[in-house]
């Protein structure tokens, strides 16, 4: 090496500075056999001037010995690594290639086109942000193009580059290119792929790979490289709620108990309230510990160690999730499975299922159908063979915290492992949890299930100034902190809007409560826990409201405060006005209050504080099975 | 939302892999070969388990032909980080007097490295071994899994390798089988140097250019590291300013002429480099697909 060639140190420092801002794009190349994938990648490496002298020498000598391009360099030889496949002349495994530009580092998965190696393509696609799908301009969209596009869409890749290759063999014809593009877009739309950039290329001749080719003046779009350099990087994980599977519990001594893992969704800061799943316990983040000191924030993609404020039982396999938006927990799922083993998948046979850091035993309860990836037809099937894809119902022996795969690849993707030979035999994507009576899908229950809760009405009744709103507000705050979806109806938001037309006569009071009851019922239909805070002095109206809800869905909460106490508080000065005769029909003064006879909860504010009262409500809900861990699971 | 740089992503991925092995395997070990990749791997392990020490020992399979500065650095490093260091030398090889100058690189590597490694793994019953190999080093490694399953005879069967999806690694194995795990799979040589720079990671001084006694053999610059180096009549080691891009057994490792005596200078050289790092390794020239063959036999 000639040392004089080295750039001066200041340039290196500038360069290193720029490098620290560089991001990472992972993509896969797929297409049919002989579409020229390896040639395309070899060409990318070659033209990016990333091939080094000795690699080039080896390529020249290999090209002469094994090449298929006469005296020309055979770029496919750069990428086809295993000796066996050199002889066969095809790629039979996933190969990862690396190259850098000024803007980005790239990891390319070169995935095989041969039908029997679909599992490798799925493997390559599972970590990719973008797919380059190659089509031979002479052949157009083939069965395997459709298969690969379907797999790419199944694995959650949204950005597609359609590289129409071998344009040199069709005379660089704009018509051919346009026909292929149109046919492809038509198919792709059916499987939900719409973010498609089509580029006519010749990998062999280097046209439109890095530089704009002279042979296709009719094409005005970017070259492949220009597109890869400028495409925004998909960052779905960062936008999701916080998720971190606990990989390992770090206990170097009595005083330290840290939970180590890689953040797979959202971000976290000290003080954030987290929920441990599936146990359901909550605690706040105390510290984000790293070897370089504590962090004030950590984001998706980082490996960290968290300590929590409370001593709660957490072990490997648990999921730490944002308390306000926890993952669902279930032991029954609907999932799509890609089968990767020579031995078929048999319903009823137990396999190990690994999702995040958790491994459980799972069996397919029902194979609903398999998918013909060429026609997207759903076919009845008794088992799945190698490379087949099916929709199944899965039963697990333990509950698992998860998100639908479309929301989060890490908390929704899983592998299946054979219990005897330990091979990875399948991969799957969780879609939704199932209820036990899965054929009865009442939409009403579904909305609750989706929110991981049981909808109900908490009806706070009591005198004006009794403390209904104070306690209801506290309860709502607590529920919200536990990740429940709630809404509070009270005089402020109902009387000033929906019921603006009503006064305080007995008839208007009845109508007022009737409307509130109906609104509360609609909100429980929507899956919410509804808190209602109204004096609601008459038993008959409260009974009416109760009759609108199902059994066990209506909790009457009597906020019991003696009139003298409520009147002494008089927070809004209403009692004073009523005593002075300025307000008519005021409950407790000149209109009766009928205390509940059998309320679900009775809170005596003379004996407990508002905070204690709110805790009492939460405790009752827990005992009633509304917010206990038991039904964080879906029953 | 702050965006992570490519180095931070690689770091997080490697730490995740290290932790996964510790959580799921009974008796892991880190193969510590003293080179820059091992230095980075060790650094990542220290980060992964902080504030605890990495819960596994370091293993060096010593061929007795390593550069002296490597051995010094190895022992210093073990003391500095406070981890256990196991040094294994194949006693059969020593008894046979295996010598790369006499027996050639292929036999030397097979007996002292491949056989030595198998002996050490069997003797201590390790069921998982971390190695610092990277996919960008060599063609057959581009297809290597992060978790590679080896038979009880330590053989690698390309047909039995498991698909690796997402961040899910299948670590299950039957008794006798073991895993080779490569946390640096997705790093390139340039990433390694950038990371050493970013994290200020100590490396063997041989990576930096200095005046060293050199003889030229078949176009390779060989450092005369001790008196075991046979000189042909009339051959005299000449002081030349050289450094090493990769470190192994000194008779099998070629130096390059360089003035790069600092990290930034090394990175500067890399940016204009036109030769890939394994060129310095005589082992790779032992015929086509040689690395793949060695791997099937149990070489790392």
Q: Report the pLDDT value the prediction gives residue A635, as an integer from 0 to 100.
A: 28
- Residues B201-214, mean pLDDT to the nearest whole number: 93
Measured between beta carbons, which residues in chain A are less than 8 angstroms from residue B158? 82, 84, 93
Size of interface A-B (CB pairs under 8 A): 217
Q: Report the pLDDT value the prediction gives residue A92, as an integer from 0 to 100.
A: 55
Q: Report the pLDDT value the prediction gives residue A61, as an integer from 0 to 100.
A: 67
Cβ–Cβ gap A427/B51 under 8 Å? no
Summarize pLDDT for A337-384 with one digit per residue, the tens: 999 988 999 888 889 999 999 999 998 988 999 988 777 788 988 899
Measured between beta carbons, which residues in chain B are less than 8 angstroms from residue A248? 19, 22-23
Q: What order of strands is seen across the sheet that includes strand A104-110?
A: A95-100, A104-110, A23-31, A130-136, A159-165, A195-200
Distance from C-alpha of B195 to C-alpha of B204, rounded to nearest angstrom: 15
Measured between beta carbons, which residues in chain B are less than 8 angstroms from residue A414? 168
Summarize pLDDT for A161-174 with one digit per residue, the tens: 999 999 999 999 99
A118 vs A151 pLDDT, higher one: A151
Do B168 and A354 form a contact (C-beta atoms < 8 A)?
yes
Binned at pLDDT 50, 70 and 90, residue A50 comes out as low
User: ipTM more than 0.90?
Assistant: no
Q: Report the pLDDT value the prediction gives residue A630, as an integer from 0 to 100.
A: 34
Determine which helix (DSSP H) or strand (DSSP E) holds A493, and give its type and residue range: helix A491-494
Binned at pLDDT 50, 70 and 90, residue B220 comes out as confident
Contacts of B236 (CB under 8 A, 6+ apart): B215
Nearest by CB to B274, from A52, A235, A250: name it: A52
Binned at pLDDT 50, 70 and 90, residue A308 comes out as very high
Q: Report the pLDDT value the prediction gives residue B298, as an integer from 0 to 100.
A: 52
pLDDT of B282 over the 70 cut:
no
Q: Report the pLDDT value the prediction gives residue A549, as an integer from 0 to 100.
A: 84
- Residues B126-144, mean pLDDT to the nearest whole number: 82
Distance from C-alpha of A294 to C-alpha of A181, rounded to nearest angstrom: 51
Report the mean per-residue pLDDT for chain A. Answer: 84
Q: Is A540 a catalytic residue?
A: no
Nearest by CB to B5, from A22, A78, A297: name it: A22
Do B243 and B266 form a contact (C-beta atoms < 8 A)?
yes
Distance from C-alpha of B275 to C-alpha of A406, rounded to nearest angstrom: 44
Which of B36-50, B139-153, B248-262 shows the lowest per-residue confidence on average (mean pLDDT)?
A: B139-153
Binned at pLDDT 50, 70 and 90, residue A65 comes out as low
Distance from C-alpha of B139 to C-alpha of B290, rounded to nearest angstrom: 11
Q: Report the pLDDT value the prediction gives residue B190, as an integer from 0 to 100.
A: 84
Tokens 């809800």 sit at which residue? A549
Cβ–Cβ gap A252/B52 under 8 Å? yes
Nearest by CB to A21, from B5, B268, B292: name it: B5
Q: Name the active-site residue from A38, A126, A202, A536.
A: A536
Summarize pLDDT for A87-99 with one digit per residue, the tens: 544 445 677 888 8
One-character DSSP codes across B7-72:
HHHHHHHHHHHHHHHHHH-SSEEEE--SSHHHHHHHHHHHHHHTTSPPSS-EEEE--S-B-HHHHH
Domains of chain A: 17-230 (3.40.50.300), 237-322 (2.40.30.10), 328-434 (2.40.30.10), 446-631 (3.40.50.300)
Summarize pLDDT for A543-592 with one digit per residue, the tens: 888 888 877 789 999 999 999 999 998 888 889 999 988 888 889 888 88
Kindly state the percentage of chain A with pLDDT values over 70: 85
Which residue of chain A has the CA closest to B271?
Answer: A6
Domain B6-192+289-297 has CATH 2.40.10.10: no
3 state SS for A49-118:
CCCCHHHHHHHHHHHHHHCCCCCCCCCHHHHCCCHHHHHHCCCCCCEEEEEECCCEEEEEEECCCCHHHH
DSSP code for A339: E
Q: Which residues of A6-32 are buried (b: 16+ CB within 10 A; e: fewer)?
A: bbeeeebeebbeebeebebbbbbbbbb
Binned at pLDDT 50, 70 and 90, residue B139 comes out as low
How far is A27 from chain B, CA to nearest CA, in Å?
A: 13
Number of other CB atoms surrounding residue B185 within 10 Å:
26
Domain ranges of chain B: 6-192+289-297, 202-284
Nearest by CB to B140, from A21, A82, A260: name it: A82
Q: Report the pLDDT value the prediction gives residue A265, as an integer from 0 to 100.
A: 93
Which of A56-70, A420-434, A497-511, B152-166 shows the lowest per-residue confidence on average (mean pLDDT)?
A: A56-70
Q: Respond yes or no on whether the N-terminal peptide bond of residue B51 is cis (omega within 30° of 0).
A: yes
Contacts of A189 (CB under 8 A, 6+ apart): none
Is 0.90 topped by the overall pTM? no
Cα pseudo-dihedral A273, A276, A281, A285, rounded to 10:
-30
Q: Any chain B CB within 8 A of the CB of A123?
A: yes
Q: Which residues 77-96 of A are in CB contact (within 8 Å) with B? A: 78-79, 81-84, 86, 93-96
- Residues B272-281, mean pLDDT to the nearest whole number: 54
Q: Report the pLDDT value the prediction gives residue B236, as an integer from 0 to 100.
A: 87
Kindly state the percentage of chain B with pLDDT values over 70: 88
Summarize pLDDT for A207-233 with one digit per residue, the tens: 898 888 788 999 999 999 899 988 887
Binned at pLDDT 50, 70 and 90, residue B163 comes out as confident
* Two tokens, residue A559: 């906020």
Summarize pLDDT for A398-448 with one digit per residue, the tens: 889 999 998 899 999 999 999 888 999 999 999 888 764 333 344 566 677
Do A222 and A197 form a contact (C-beta atoms < 8 A)?
yes
Do A340 and A424 form a contact (C-beta atoms < 8 A)?
yes
Contacts of A573 (CB under 8 A, 6+ apart): none
Summarize pLDDT for A8-41 with one digit per residue, the tens: 556 778 878 877 788 889 999 887 666 677 777 7
Distance from C-alpha of A257 to C-alpha of A266, rounded to nearest angstrom: 23
Report the mean per-residue pLDDT for chain B. Answer: 85
B93 vs B38 pLDDT, higher one: B38
Measured between beta carbons, which residues in chain A are less than 8 angstroms from residue B275? 1, 52-54
Cβ–Cβ gap B190/A97 under 8 Å? no
Nearest by CB to B163, from A96, A119, A302: name it: A119
Q: Any chain B CB within 8 A of the CB of A294?
A: no
Kindly state the percentage of chain B with pLDDT values over 90: 45
Cβ–Cβ gap B19/A251 under 8 Å? no
Cβ–Cβ gap B172/A105 under 8 Å? no
E strands, A290-388, in order = 298-299, 303-308, 319-322, 328-339, 350-355, 358-372, 377-379
Summarize pLDDT for B70-115 with one digit per residue, the tens: 999 999 999 999 999 999 988 888 888 888 778 877 888 888 888 8
Cα A424-A109-A19 angle, rounded to 5 deg: 125
Kindly state the percentage of chain A with pLDDT values over 90: 40
Q: Choose the mutation target among A81, A99, A111, A307 for the interface with B, i.e. most B CBs under 10 Å.
A: A81
User: β-strand B58-61 against B28-31: which pairing, if any?
Assistant: parallel
Helix axes B6-24, B36-49, angle to 10 degrees: 70
How far is B128 from chain A, CA to nearest CA, in Å?
A: 16
Which of A405-414, A461-470, B95-104, B261-270 shows the lowest per-residue confidence on average (mean pLDDT)?
A: B95-104
> B124, B34, B11, B243: which is closest to A301 by C-alpha?
B11
pLDDT of A627 over the 90 cut:
no
């Amino acid at each position: 090496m000639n040392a004089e060639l080295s750039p001066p140190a200041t340039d290196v420092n500038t360069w290193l500075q720029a490098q620290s801002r560089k991001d990472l794009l992972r993509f896969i190349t797929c297409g049919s056999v002989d579409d020229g994938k390896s040639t395309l990648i070899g060409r990318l490496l070659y033209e990016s001037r990333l091939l080094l002298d000795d690699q080039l020498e080896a390529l020249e000598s290999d090209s002469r010995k094994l090449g298929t391009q006469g005296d020309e360099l055979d770029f496919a030889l750069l990428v086809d690594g295993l000796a066996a496949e050199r002889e066969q002349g095809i790629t039979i495994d996933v190969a990862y290639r690396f190259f850098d530009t000024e803007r980005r580092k790239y990891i390319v998965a070169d995935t095989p086109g041969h039908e029997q190696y679909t599992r490798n393509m799925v493997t390559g696609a599972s970590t990719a942000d973008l797919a380059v799908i190659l089509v031979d301009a002479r052949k157009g969209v083939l069965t395997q193009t459709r298969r690969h596009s379907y797999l790419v869409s199944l694995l959650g890749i949204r950005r597609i580059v359609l590289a129409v290759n071998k344009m040199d063999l069709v005379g660089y014809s704009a018509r051919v290119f346009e026909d292929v593009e149109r046919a492809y877009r038509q198919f792709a739309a059916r499987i939900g792929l719409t973010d498609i950039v089509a580029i006519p290329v010749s990998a062999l001749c280097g046209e439109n790979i890095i530089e704009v080719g002279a042979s296709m003046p009719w094409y005005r779009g970017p070259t492949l490289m220009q597109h890869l350099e400028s495409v925004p990087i998909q960052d779905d994980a960062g936008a999701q709620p916080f998720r971190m599977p606990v990989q390992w519990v770090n206990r170097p001594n009595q005083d330290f108990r840290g939970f180590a893992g890689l953040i797979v969704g959202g971000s976290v800061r000290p003080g954030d309230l987290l929920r441990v799943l599936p146990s359901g316990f909550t605690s706040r983040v105390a510290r984000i510990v790293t070897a370089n000191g504590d962090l004030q924030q950590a984001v998706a993609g980082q490996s960290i160690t968290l300590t929590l404020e409370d001593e709660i039982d957490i072990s490997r396999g648990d999921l730490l999730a944002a308390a306000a938006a926890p993952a669902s927990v279930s032991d029954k799922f609907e999932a799509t499975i890609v089968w990767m083993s020579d031995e078929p998948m048999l319903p009823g046979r137990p396999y190990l299922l690994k999702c995040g850091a958790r491994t459980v035993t799972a069996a397919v309860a029902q194979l609903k159908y398999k998918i013909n990836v060429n026609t997207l037809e759903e076919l009845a099937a008794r088992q799945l063979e190698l490379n087949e894809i099916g929709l199944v119902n899965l039963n697990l022996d333990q509950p698992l915290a998860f998100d639908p795969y479309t929301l989060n690849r890490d908390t929704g993707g899983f592998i299946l492992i054979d219990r005897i030979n330990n091979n990875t035999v399948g991969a799957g994507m969780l879609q939704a949890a199932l209820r036990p009576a899965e054929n009865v899908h009442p939409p009403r229950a579904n909305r609750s299930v989706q929110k991981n809760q049981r909808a109900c009405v908490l009806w706070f009744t009591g005198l004006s100034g009794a403390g209904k709103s104070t306690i209801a507000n506290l309860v709502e705050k607590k529920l919200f902190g536990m990740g429940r979806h709630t809404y509070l109806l009270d005089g402020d938001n109902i009387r000033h809007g929906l019921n603006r037309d009503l006064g305080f006569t007995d008839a208007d009071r009845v109508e007022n409560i009737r409307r509130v009851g109906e609104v509360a019922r609609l909100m429980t239909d929507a899956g919410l826990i509804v808190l209602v805070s109204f004096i609601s002095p008459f038993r008959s109206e409260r009974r009416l409201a109760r009759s609108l809800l199902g059994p066990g869905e209506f909790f009457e909460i009597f906020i019991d405060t003696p009139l003298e106490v409520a009147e002494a508080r008089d927070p809004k000065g209403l009692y004073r006005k009523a005593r002075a005769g300025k307000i008519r029909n005021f409950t407790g003064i000149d209109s009766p209050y009928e205390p509940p006879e059998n309320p679900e909860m009775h809170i005596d504010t003379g004996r407990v504080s508002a905070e204690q009262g709110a805790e009492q409500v939460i405790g009752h809900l827990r005992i009633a099975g509304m917010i206990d861990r038991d039904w964080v699971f879906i029953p | 939302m702050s965006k992570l740089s490519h180095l931070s992503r690689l770091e997080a991925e490697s730490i995740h892999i290290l932790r996964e092995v510790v959580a799921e395997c009974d008796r892991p070990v880190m193969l510590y070969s003293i080179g820059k990749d091992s230095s980075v791997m060790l650094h990542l392990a220290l980060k992964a388990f902080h504030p605890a020490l990495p819960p596994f020992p370091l293993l060096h399979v010593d061929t007795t032909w390593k550069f002296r500065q490597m051995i010094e650095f190895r022992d210093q490093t073990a003391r500095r980080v406070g981890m256990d260091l196991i040094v294994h030398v194949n006693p059969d090889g020593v008894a046979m007097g295996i010598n790369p100058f006499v027996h050639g690189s292929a036999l030397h590597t097979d007996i002292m490295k491949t056989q030595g490694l198998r002996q050490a793994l069997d003797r201590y019953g390790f069921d998982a071994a971390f190695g610092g190999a990277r996919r960008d080093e060599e063609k057959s490694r581009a297809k290597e899994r992060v978790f590679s399953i080896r038979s009880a005879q330590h053989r690698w069967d390309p047909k039995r390798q498991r698909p690796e999806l997402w961040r899910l690694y299948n670590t299950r194995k039957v008794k006798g089988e073991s895993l080779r795990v490569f946390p640096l799979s997705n790093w390139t040589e340039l990433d390694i140097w950038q990371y050493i720079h970013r994290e200020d990671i100590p490396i063997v001084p041989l990576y930096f250019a200095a005046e060293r006694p050199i003889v030229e053999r078949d176009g390779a610059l060989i450092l005369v590291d001790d008196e075991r180096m046979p000189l042909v009549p009339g051959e005299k080691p000449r002081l030349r300013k050289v450094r090493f891009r990769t470190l192994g057994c000194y008779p099998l490792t070629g130096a390059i002429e360089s003035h790069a005596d600092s990290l930034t200078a090394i990175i500067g050289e890399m940016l204009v480099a036109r030769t890939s790092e394994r060129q310095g390794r005589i082992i790779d020239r032992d015929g086509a697909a040689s690395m793949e063959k060695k791997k099937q036999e149990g070489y790392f």
